[in-house]
Amino acid sequence: MKLVGKAHRFGDDINTDLIISGKYKFKTLDMEELSKHLLEDLDPDFFKKIKKGDFIVAGKNFGCGSSREQAPLVIKYAHISAVLASSFARIFYRNAINVGLPLVECDTSKIDEGDNLVVDLEGGKVIDQTKQEEIDITPLPSFMIEILSAGGLVGYIKENRGWRI
Give yes or no for a contact between 10 and 112, defined as CB atoms under 8 angstroms apart.
Answer: no
Among the ranges given (5-14, 41-50, 127-136, 156-165), the one the predictor scored with the smallest mean pLDDT = 156-165
Give yes or no for a contact between 87 and 61, defined as CB atoms under 8 angstroms apart.
Answer: yes
Tell me the whole-structure pTM to 2 decimals: 0.91
pLDDT tens-digit map of 79-100 = 999 999 999 999 999 999 999 9
Which residue type occupies 75? Answer: I
CA gap 112, 158 in Å, rounded? 39
Nearest residue to 82 via CA among 106, 114, 57: 57
Confidence of residue 21 (pLDDT cuts 50, 70, 90): confident
What domains sit in the chain, N to C, each tagged with a CATH number?
Answer: 2-138 (3.20.19.10)
CA gap 6, 61 in Å, rounded? 21
Give yes or no for a contact between 39 and 10, defined as CB atoms under 8 angstroms apart.
Answer: yes
| Averaged pLDDT of the chain | 92
Total number of residues shown for the chain = 165
pLDDT tens-digit map of 119-134 = 998 889 999 999 999 9
